[in-house]
Chain A
């Protein structure tokens, strides 16, 4: 496909005007109906060009996960808004879209290998093809020695890697990550972020990452969407001007990094 032949982009270059749009939201809002209605999202507009790494940050309960679920077709937006993925209106999870949640969602009765291949099998990829794709994926995620283990025999970090692997084996054009490393300790989380960055720099999918970690967002993303308290809406849309490929040792020491992180902290009312 085009991705494999696409030249690695110039450092920090934003996708050009000719880039196709991966996700387009127009006036998307959400109210959860119940005994008392809860307004989760005020109208949100957002356009994500293909290949962009976008982080969505905001305080807890600001509707960032809801926004991601709307893009994934798992939650219906209020009528009136427009949700498009790769130019088609969303109705159920669109093909070519992979989701990784904070809980790993691996099946306890299946081995790591079978879990990693599950998504592709459900998507109708033939068994032989899945069997070809899984081993290199396990290799890439450092899970090679654990193919025959079950999820309960893995550490939390390894489970999240396996969950990420399950999504990647489907070769999605768009990856939605809902705080995928949010439940892990800080050290593991940092390590997985470095791995995620390495994988993304290789594959260059469109990524929408929901996180409440400012450092994570600045380190990984091309662009950061800041959301307000509930009902959430976009209060800031800023570009991260830090060269790629980024590197865990040096990137965090750059003045741009500190400056962007501080700006985000102010926007989120942390400082």
Chain B
């Protein structure tokens, strides 16, 4: 087997082994199916409910994407502002850190009261979960520009704007991507938590209602979809990250 094929086969085999264990262990250990349904039970429950599930997947995806994109944009802007202004570094930055310490889950009921059962409160939850990692990573990236390059740009008489746009931003981009990688799964968590607290639709809402009627097979079907969503979105960021291939090449 070639090295490349092996690299693909290894994780596939691991997942297959886990799924096989999931399929056969509950029966072998005599675990009741309403406690832990087998993999095939979950698939068949998911297939039966497929039209509702795809609708809900789309609804949750939209909440996640909107929240994430707002957080990515907001985090970038916040980082640039905090980096660029001593005043904001002294005022906004500590405020951001304090707010990060606040348990965001506890805000969800408030958001439902303020913004209702629809899209708004979920997007806001996803946004809040994802904002901080993007902002902090970007800030670190901007501040991490090597001193010798900063000095070189001064020696080239580069303007403040040129130094920012042509040196600091490209330098920070790999860190921005890292921040997004942390933030994306958090945005999924945010949206799901938002749906737990109050929603008419979405995978999080379905998990909640299916669990309350002991439909664990449906709960697991939702969990598989949420996991797949996170995985795909993470993959997209991973691909975007290849555009900033110069990571680690800078000191060469």
Contact = CB atoms under 8 A, between A and B. Distances in A.
A108 B170 CA distance: 10
B157 A95 contact: yes
A163 to B, nearest CB: 9
A119 interface: yes
Interface stretch (A81-89, A97-105, A253-261): A97-105
A99 B159 CA distance: 17
A105 B252 contact: no
Contacts of A170: 156
Contacts of B162: 122
Q: Which of B149, B151, B156 has the most CB of A within 10 A?
A: B156
Interface in A131-189: 150-152, 170
Contacts of A105: 148-149, 152
A122 B158 contact: yes
Interface string B111-147: 0000000000000000000000000000000000000
Contacts of A1: none
Nearest to B243: A109
A83 to B, nearest CB: 15
Contacts of A128: none
Contacts of A123: 156-157
A123 B159 CA distance: 9
B236 interface: no
B106 interface: no
Interface in B197-252: 244, 246, 249-250, 252
B12 interface: no
A74 B152 CA distance: 9
Contacts of B158: 122
B152 to A, nearest CB: 4
B250 A74 contact: no
A224 interface: no
Given A105-B149, A151-B252, A92 B154 contact: yes
A74 B252 contact: no
A72 interface: yes
Interface residues of B, number: 20
B252 A118 contact: no
Contacts of A150: 246, 249
A166 to B, nearest CB: 8
Contact of A103 (B148, B153, B170, B244): B148
A151 B162 CA distance: 21
A9 interface: no
A107 interface: yes
A93 interface: yes
B157 A108 contact: no
A30 to B, nearest CB: 16
A93 B149 contact: no
A150 B249 CA distance: 10
A72 B167 CA distance: 20
B116 to A, nearest CB: 45
A122 B250 contact: no
Contacts of B154: 74, 92-93
A109 B157 contact: no
B152 A109 contact: no
B249 A152 contact: yes
A101 B159 CA distance: 20
B152 A108 contact: no
B166 to A, nearest CB: 8
A108 B156 contact: no
Contacts of A107: 149, 166-167, 170
A259 to B, nearest CB: 36
B242 to A, nearest CB: 13
A16 B156 CA distance: 31
Nearest to B167: A107
Nearest to A95: B157
Contacts of A119: 156
6 contacts: A74-B154, A93-B157, A118-B156, A122-B159, A122-B162, A152-B249
Interface of B: 148-149, 151-159, 162, 166-167, 170, 244, 246, 249-250, 252
Report the 4 A-B pairs with minimum CB-CB distance, sorted nearest first. Answer: A105-B152, A108-B246, A108-B249, A99-B155
